[in-house]
Structures are given as C-alpha cells and as structure tokens.
Amino acid sequence: MGMHDLDAENEDLVRKVIDYALERLGSDSPLSSPPSAEELQALVGNTITPTGLGGTEALRTFADHLAPACMPTDHPRYLAFVAGAPTMAASAFDLVVGSSSLCGSTWLDGAGMVFAENQALRWIADLADMPDSAGGCFVTGGTMGNLSALVTARHDADRRRMDAGSGHPQRWAVVAAESAHSSIDSAAGVMGVDVLLAAVDAGERLRGDAVAAAIAARPAGTEVFAVVATAGTTNLGIVDDIDGIADACAESGVWLHVDGAYGGAAMAAPSVRHRFDGIHRVDSLVVDPHKWLFSPFDCAALVYANPALARVAHTQHAGYLEPIIDDSVWNPCDYANVLTRRARGMPFWFSLAVYGTDAYTEAIEHTLEVARATRDMVVAADHLELLVEPELSVVAFRRRGWGQADYQTWCDRLLAAGTALLTPTTFDGGAAMRVCIVNPRTTVGDLQEVLATLGGAGDHAA
Ligand SMILES: *Cc1c(COP(=O)(O)O)cnc(C)c1O
C-alpha cells in the first residue's frame, strides 16, 4: 500500500476513518480519569515501527485504547474549565479542512478560505459593533490571540514614541486585573514587559477609575502600552466595565485589548448583550469559537479595529516571502505571530453558513438559561453559598463547611462514577467550586443530578 495514492486499500482506510468519525459524533464517550503512561504502554505497546501497523490495527489502537483515555469535552456534564461543544457541521467540516491540503497563510494560497474566514470574523466584529475597517485572523487560541494583540499594541506605542522623538521607555507595561487570564502574564513574560495590576471592585469587576489609577501609579521610566479588559473572566464569568475602561484608555492614549476568549460569544445573546456596552471602542478583541461558539479545537478569532497596525507589527520579511508581501490582498499571516497557518476558522464558518446566526443566538441563550437555573438551585440550597451573581454561564459556589480536600474528594468521586467532570477553584483565598456551561446539550437535569451529590448540611465529601 502506497502512502500517497488513493488505491483500494487507502480508500478502504479513508472510509473506516470517516465511519469512525460519524459514529463518534453520534455518541457520548464516557468521562473517566486518565490512565498512567505505564498503563497505556501496557495496553498499546509501541506503535511506531519500520513497516507500520496497517490501517485497521492503527485505527483499532486509537478507538480501543487512545480515544477512551481522553476526556470528551463535548460531554454534557463536562463542567470544568471551559469545555467545547462543536456543532455537527463544524466537526464534519474539520475533516474537509484537514483533507484539502490548503494553507491559510496567504491570499495567494487560500483566497477562497480566507474570504470565508473573513466573513466569519466580520460576524464577530459586527457583534461588537466594530468599525468597517476591522479585521484580523483566526489563531490557535486565546493565548496566541492575546500575545499577538499585545505585540501589535506595543509596536504601535513604540512607533508613536519614536515619531514624537521620545525614544524607547526604560520599561513597557500592560495594565490588567488579577482576574485577567493567566495568558496575559504569559504574554508579558514572552514580550519582556511588566504587568501593572489594577484593583477590581467589590463585584470582582475591573473599572475605568482603577485603570486610570494604575496608569497614573506606574513607576518612573515605565510606559503603559495597553490595558487588558476581560469580557467574561474565566473563573467567575464577570464582564469588566468596558465602556469606563475605554474612557480611561482614551484619556491616556493607551490601546484597549478586550479578552473575550470565553465570554465574547455571549455578545450574540440579547439577554446579556448590554454587559458588553462600549466594546465597539476596542483596539483589539479576542473571542474563542472553540469555547462557546461550537467550533472544534483549535480556533480563536483575533480582530483589530485598525488591522494595518497589526500588519506592520507582524509581517515577516525574507527573500522567499517578498512575492507574497502585498497589502492589496488579505494575508492572515500578517496579523498574528504565525506564518504557516491551518485555515482553522473554516469549520466555524461552515457551521455558521449551514445553521445561520439565529441558531447560535438560541444555543447560547439556552446555556445562559441553564446557568440561571443552576444559580437558583444554589441559592435555594441552605448548604450552598453563591459566591457572585453570575453574569454569563459560570456559576461559582461553596458547600458550607467544606475545605479544599472535600471538594477534591467530591470531584474525584463524580469522575470515578463517570457522572461529571468538575474541578475545584479558588476564590478570595479559599477553595470553591465553579461550573461553566457552554454546551447546549447540558440540561438543568444534569446540574440537578450533580448538585444533588453535594449532600445535606453537616455532611462531608468522604
Ligand atoms: C481560555 C481563555 C484564554 C486562553 O485561551 P486558549 O484558547 O486556551 O489559549 C484567555 N482568556 C480567557 C478569558 C480565557 O477564558
């Protein structure tokens, strides 16, 4: 069997792979704890051999041993972290993107896909009421989106200082709240810049006055090049006061980046759209379709109000690349820290095109309703304590009388029973629980079942 011809054997293999994918889409794989590497070694053995295992055996190894050793994020009771629940169309089209040998770096290579991806990006820009000029590209995740946006912001701030004859500052800094995602710290580390913390208010929300205070309190020699506001904090789902923060940024001429990796999707939900007031004023925005917009991993939308500023910051120059450097066409690789690029926005585009945006609004509203019902169940239970009023689809709570070990025991038990995946978090220096609902197949009944296992007053998890 050759590797590159669609001969009878390869055709049979392709069909088996597609059949496997179809079967997987129609069933929930169980939730279970991961095995150890030693256990997998015993089950799977060595799969990389000079002559190959053959298609049947390699696929069997995956289906029987490797896939069951992975957590299905689209399980309705995957309630930890931020899950992902791709639509049927998006998952299916991922196979097409993977089997089309199309590169999404440049217009020259991928005009048709770049055109389609840009329509999907435009939908997100429209949700935010960003200007007609807005544009960007799809990157691997919020982490890469945040880094690429901040690189653009610093590049622009530095260029403006140079134009003004002020020279480079001793240090560059980004202002962010403690509730900002860990990827902001990570980006700052990569960039060699400082993070200046701005205080959140009693409702865990970053506001304009705290941002203005943090900018004013910067150390001598330090210049602030960007403020990061979070539209849906990962731990609690809080949307920062974007309009007030935009005022503070405008006042001091600082770039406003909004990290909506998790929460930005909720701009499509009329019941919570007001929480995003002021988002049309952003300089850059990140929204992860692989979180709450039902796209397979990995897919994050990065959108700039003025993409030309990103192009000057990110375009790579080399002799062999000069022929594609062309600002009369849209080259996605010019807008992030990337060159070769999977057209990872295509499954998302296909799904939007198939089902229409109303279906997205409805699905997101449904998850918000399940989150509200969960909040009500927590409030109604004497042994539970709601930590903050949920703004999006994260519900954070405590079980009265429980500490870290109790939560962990409870989570372990739920996973061992295959009931649900939850993980403890921290809030205000103490252990707590959170559930994040981004799967439209998650029901109020699922949450009822999970919360019922928290026992009554006085019980311990053991
Ligand atoms: C998940 C998340 C990120 C990181 O996104 P990845 O896609 O995991 O890289 C960044 N910011 C927020 C607010 C998030 O919730």
The predicted model scores a pTM of 0.97
Q: How confident is the model at residue 325 (pLDDT cuts 50, 70, 90)?
A: confident
Strands 284-287 and 135-139: unpaired
Q: Collapse the DSSP code of 254 into the 3-class scheme (helix H, G, I; strand E, B; otherwise coil) and give the result.
A: coil
pLDDT of residue 139: 98
pLDDT tens-place string over residues 344-378:
999 999 999 999 999 999 999 999 999 999 999 99
Q: How far apart are CA 417 and CA 162, in angstroms?
A: 61
Which residues fall within 8 angstroms of residue 70, CB to CB, at 6 or more apart? 29, 34
Angle at 335 between CA 330 and CA 339, to 5 degrees: 90
Which residues fall within 8 angstroms of residue 340, CB to CB, at 6 or more apart? 103, 105, 333
Instruction: Confirm or reject: Cβ of 141 under 6 Å from ligand 1.
Output: yes
Q: How far apart are CA 118 and CA 181, in angstroms?
A: 26
Task: For the beta carbon of residue 133, count every other beta carbon within 10 angstroms.
Answer: 11
Our mutation pick for probing the ligand 1 site, out of 182, 236, 262, counting the most ligand atoms within 8 A of Cβ, is 262
pLDDT of residue 187: 98
Instruction: Confirm or reject: Cβ of 259 under 6 Å from ligand 1.
Output: yes
Q: How far apart are CA 1 and CA 31, in angstroms?
A: 37
Domain ranges of the chain: 37-67, 96-355, 357-452
Place of tokens 């999907």: 120
Place of tokens 């590169």: 103
Q: How far apart are CA 351 and CA 357, in angstroms?
A: 9
- DSSP 8-state secondary structure symbol assigned to residue 340: S
Please, are residues 276 and 231 in contact by the beta-carbon 8 Å criterion? yes
Our mutation pick for probing the ligand 1 site, out of 183, 286, 287, counting the most ligand atoms within 8 A of Cβ, is 183
Q: How confident is the model at residue 1 (pLDDT cuts 50, 70, 90)?
A: low
How large is the average pLDDT for residues 212-233?
A: 98
Please, are residues 228 and 196 in contact by the beta-carbon 8 Å criterion? no
How much distance in Å is there from the Cα of 345 to the middle of ligand 1? 17
Residue 457 in this model has a pLDDT that exceeds 60: no
pLDDT of residue 108: 94
Task: For the beta carbon of residue 203, count every other beta carbon within 10 angstroms.
Answer: 12
Q: How far apart are CA 181 and CA 178, in angstroms?
A: 8
pLDDT tens-place string over residues 409-438:
999 999 999 999 999 999 999 999 999 999
How large is the average pLDDT for residues 267-280?
A: 98
pLDDT tens-place string over residues 161-197:
999 999 999 999 999 999 999 999 999 999 999 999 9
- Residue owning the nearest CA to atom 2 of ligand 1: 261
Q: Collapse the DSSP code of 241 into the 3-class scheme (helix H, G, I; strand E, B; otherwise coil) and give the result.
A: coil
How much distance in Å is there from the Cα of 214 to the middle of ligand 1? 24
pLDDT tens-place string over residues 49-92:
999 999 999 999 999 999 999 999 999 999 999 999 999 999 99
Number of residues that this document lists for the chain: 462
Angle at 184 between CA 243 and CA 162, to 5 degrees: 80
Domain 357-452, what fold? Aspartate Aminotransferase, domain 1 (3.90.1150)
pLDDT of residue 324: 79
Q: How confident is the model at residue 326 (pLDDT cuts 50, 70, 90)?
A: confident
Q: How far apart are CA 104 and CA 86, in angstroms?
A: 21
> Are 96-355 and 357-452 in the same CATH fold?
no
pLDDT tens-place string over residues 367-412:
999 999 999 999 999 999 999 999 999 999 999 999 999 999 999 9
Strands 424-427 and 430-436: antiparallel
277 burial via Cβ count (<10 Å: 0-12, 13-18, 19+): middle
How much distance in Å is there from the Cα of 135 to the middle of ligand 1? 20
Domain 96-355, CATH: 3.40.640.10
Instruction: Confirm or reject: Cβ of 262 under 6 Å from ligand 1.
Output: yes
Instruction: Confirm or reject: Cβ of 142 under 6 Å from ligand 1.
Output: yes
Q: How far is CA 42 from CA 35, 37, 47, 57, 191, in A?
A: 11, 9, 12, 16, 43
Q: How confident is the model at residue 455 (pLDDT cuts 50, 70, 90)?
A: confident
Please, are residues 84 and 73 in contact by the beta-carbon 8 Å criterion? yes
Residue 462 in this model has a pLDDT that exceeds 80: no
Instruction: Confirm or reject: Cβ of 300 under 6 Å from ligand 1.
Output: yes
Which residues fall within 8 angstroms of residue 324, CB to CB, at 6 or more apart? 106, 108, 331
